[in-house]
Structure 1
Amino acid sequence: MQMQDLNGKVAVITGASSGIGEATARLLAAEGVHIVLAARRRDRIEALVEELGNQATAIETDVTDNSQVEWLFAQVKDTFGGLDLLLNNAGLGIHAPFTDSSPEQWRGMIDTNLIGLLNCTHAAIPLLKGRPGAMIASVSSTGGRYGVEGWSVYCATKYAVVGFHETLRKELGAEGIRVSVIEPGAVWTEFGHNLPEQALRERREALDALHAEDVAQAVVYAFAQPPRVLVQEILVRPVKQVAP
């Protein structure tokens, strides 16, 4: 297989304190990529820096706060001069029938899943220009393709992510910036924190759910393609997840 040599490239991962973000950081670091870990939980990303050593940097960031996002990417520019991969992974899902949900819950999901992603993407684009194989990759969901009961607002944010990426791909393609969206099904992560733990475990065991590392491999596969190649969309779900 003809893949890019990723050694020496620079990546920013949001939501890097657990799950898919954490797993992708480990996998990219093993390929020689320097990882900038961005998340609200400073202790978690600093612990990951201790594990990855000089391959990683931790910057506490709330992606919903554009001033924090601008500071994050200013640090990336000052330290590295540019960026090769932005992985928009920070996300929030709150389970509730729409009639039982609240405006505060809607805003929380929209601010994190959509506004936060837009903040980071807007700040990253100038640093991606002129870098061969540069990529913006975002973690969406099967819920960005199919409506799922109890997740109406979450699904709405993920549909928006897919639509945004389809348009952004057309805007940035001529500059050689690749735009890719990853759509996982059920995964063993902290996602779904407001659901009973036992119910989550039973569902994921029944589906033989993906591990975070499985999704991380999809991200790295897309990023490691030759610069002329765009893997535009990856839908990855457990074999046993035969319905959305």
Structure 2
Amino acid sequence: MLAKRIGGRARVHVADVEREFGGLDLLFNNAGVGYNNRFEESNHEEWRATIDASLYGVLNCTQRAIPMMRGREGAMISSVSSVDGRYGIAGWSVYNATKFAVVGFHDALRKELGEDGIRVSLIEPGATYTNWGYNVPDEQMQQRRDSVQALHAEDIASALVYGFAQPGHVNLQELLVMPTRQVSP
């Protein structure tokens, strides 16, 4: 179903990573849902959707990946948080809370896994062209992104590849990636 939504270039393959590849070298957590509302006007369904995608998705995938990464030189867990995980923004309080949580989780996880040689990296993008931003008219999101020449998916992918390509003893712990013209969150 997801591949169908993504389009013709997406492929789905069921794989037993441990059996087929002997383990996992890279986990890239990249998910987020956000609803724009004043907190007092938000609802539990929006909270749950935001927390499930933006936090529980990271926790669940990471916990499953760790055992498959032990003993693999240069193994890395990398997750996308957001500049909104550093700065609170009115109307995005629950989303901000999940992204702040992802930042704190990675800080602690880095300390837990460092001795195992597993790198833990966080990418915090600013404005990016995506279909993200529930409860905000598409035109308004597009205008904001255009005004700062927002990042593209390829820019975030380049940051991931750069971090992963470093030698196994080098861990780019946090990469704050912003459009040059974006001067505030």
TM-score by length of 1: 0.72
8 Å CA contact 1:42, 1:58 repeated in 2: no
- Aligned counterpart in structure 2 of residue 165 of structure 1, from 95, 106, 112: 106
1:90 matched to 2:45? no
Q: Secondary structure at the match of 2:79?
A: strand
Q: Which amino acid aligns with 2:56?
A: I
Q: Secondary structure at the match of 2:111?
A: helix
Match of 2:147 in 1: 206
Match of 1:42 in 2: 3
8 Å CA contact 2:38, 2:91 repeated in 1: yes
TM-score by length of 2: 0.94
Deviations 1:140-183 (A, max 9, x none): 00000000111000000000000000000000000100000000
**CA positional deviation for 1:78:** 2.4
In structure 2, distance between residues paired with 1:46 and 1:142: 28
**CA positional deviation for 1:93:** 1.4
Q: 1:46 to 1:130 in 2, by over 3 A?
A: farther
In structure 1, distance between residues paired with 2:21 and 2:59: 22
8 Å CA contact 2:37, 2:135 repeated in 1: no
Q: 1:49 to 1:201 in 2, by over 3 A?
A: closer
In structure 1, distance between residues paired with 2:107 and 2:72: 21
In structure 2, distance between residues paired with 1:172 and 1:235: 22
1:127 matched to 2:68? yes
8 Å CA contact 1:83, 1:134 repeated in 2: yes
- Aligned counterpart in structure 1 of residue 96 of structure 2, from 138, 155, 177: 155
**Which segment drifts farther, 175-184 or 201-210?**
201-210
- Aligned counterpart in structure 2 of residue 185 of structure 1, from 101, 126, 145: 126
Which consecutive residues of structure 2, in runs of 5 or more, have no partner in the other structure? none
In structure 1, distance between residues paired with 2:10 and 2:49: 28
Q: Which amino acid aligns with 2:179?
A: P
Match of 1:218 in 2: 159
In structure 2, distance between residues paired with 1:197 and 1:44: 18
Deviations 1:154-213 (A, max 9, x none): 000000000000000000000100000000000011111431111011111111111111
**CA positional deviation for 1:46:** 7.5
In structure 2, distance between residues paired with 1:105 and 1:76: 33
**CA positional deviation for 1:109:** 0.8
User: How many residue pairs align between the two structures?
Assistant: 185
8 Å CA contact 2:103, 2:122 repeated in 1: yes
Match of 1:146 in 2: 87
1:100 matched to 2:41? yes
8 Å CA contact 2:84, 2:96 repeated in 1: yes
- Moved beyond 3 Å, runs of 4+: 44-47
Q: Which amino acid aligns with 1:106?
A: W
Identity fraction in percent? 56
